[in-house]
Structure 1
Amino acid sequence: MNERQLIEVIEPVLARHGLELDALDIIPAGKRVLLRVTVDGDGPEGHGPLIDDIAEASRDLSEALDESAATGAGAYTLEVSSRGVNRPLTLPRHWRRNAGHLVRITTTAGETFQGRIVASDDEGVDLLIEPEDPRPGKGTAVERRCAYADITKARVQVEMKRQDKEED
């Protein structure tokens, strides 16, 4: 299977559904090939696509690939999913779509810290760094700007109960 030909089939289908191709993995699996398509998009609230959007795109993508010569004569399995929280934040749009989320960052200087995404642009991200001791009077939150060029690794952290979502 030719990756470039597959992308030429996949991207227009995803675009019709308001989605973007984030990654394409072509994985040999015995006599079959696994086509793992990872998608991203703004979705209705600007924070990523909804599962229904992905399901519709997956059906249309399956039809388009079946009709295309890009998959070759061999059998394949199509897997379509969103980026999820386990994928690193690498592009400005990833940061924008995760505004409000807590992230763990490692910098080029080797520093590692957590912060909440306040805002982002094409050059970097504004974070709110919470004090290590969350008890009242034990420190204050600090705002920090990080250029993307200074970040070597960044991932969204899973929060079971967000502080701004807690009920009084």
Structure 2
Amino acid sequence: MSEQSSTGPDDHRRLTELIGPVVEEAGLVLEDVALKPSGTGLVLQVLVDLPEDRTDSVDIDRIAEVARAVSDALDRDDPVPGSAYELEVSSPGATRELAEPRHWRRSLGRLVRVTPVEGEKFTARLLEVAQDGVVLQRSHQAKKGMPARLLDPERWPFDRVRRAKVEVEFTD
């Protein structure tokens, strides 16, 4: 998020130092913070997530609680003096980009869509996450209507993965 923001390094640091402890106190992780132009004003975007040992999702009530706590902290110590902004607190969502090892750990057991540095995109089940890579298991369906066969698990170092994203699964 901060790559496209108007948040300078000092603003980003100041916002992170102010908002980070509030988010942590709520039992969440501060994923990112960015101050972005929006129409004639600014939007302060705060992205929060559950700790990496959790695989469930942040519910809307939890988002609302942390938004109130962040708003109170901003009212006490305005990190962007003289600027009016709208506060927006959210979570990464179901189809998050897997950019860091902790994102992969949060997605353990899920289907992921992988774009390797070399080769074709593929979908696989995330079985394990290590410091330097992941273990993925693809499946193969020989004919339409036939049950899929699980292939042997494959080890993928992070440096061989260009991009990865969680896939939404619909189950009966």
**TM-score, normalised via structure 1 length:** 0.85
Equivalent position amino acid for 1:122 in 2? Q
Among residues 141, 145, 156, which one is paired with 1:146 in the alignment?
156
Residue-pair matches, total: 161
Q: Which of 102, 125, 129 is equivalent to 2:138?
A: 129
Alpha-carbon spacing, 1:40–1:77, altered in 2? closer, same or farther (3 Å): same
State the Cα distance separating 1:50 from its structure 2 match: 3.2
| Residue 160 in structure 1 maps to residue 154 in structure 2 | no
When residues 60 and 44 of structure 1 are mapped into structure 2, their CA distance, relative to the original with a 3 A threshold, is farther
Paired-residue identity, %? 37
Of residues 29, 36, 56 in structure 2, which corresponds to 1:27? 36
Contact 2:52 2:102 in 1 (8 A): no
Write the distance in 2 (CA, Å) between the matches of 1:149 and 1:155.
15
Over the residues paired in the alignment, what is the CA RMSD in angstroms?
A: 2.1
Letter of the 1:106 counterpart: T
Paired with 1:156 and 1:113, the residues of 2 have a C-alpha distance of: 12
The one-letter code of the counterpart of 1:151 is V
Report which stretch shifted further, 40-49 or 112-121.
Answer: 40-49
Corresponding position of 2:86:
77
The structure-2 alpha-carbon separation of the partners of 1:29 and 1:72, relative to structure 1 and needing over 3 Å to count, comes to same
Could you say which residue in structure 1 is the equivalent of 2:23? 14
User: Could you tell me how far 1:55 is from its partner in structure 2?
Assistant: 1.8
Q: Separation in 2 of the partners of 1:104 and 1:98?
A: 12
Structure 1 pair 91/44, CA: closer, same or farther in 2 (3 Å)?
closer
TM-score (norm 2): 0.83
In 1, are the aligned partners of 2:52 and 2:105 still within 8 Å (CA)?
no
Amino acid at match of 1:144: E
- C-alpha separation between the residues in 1 aligned to 2:149 and 2:39? 56
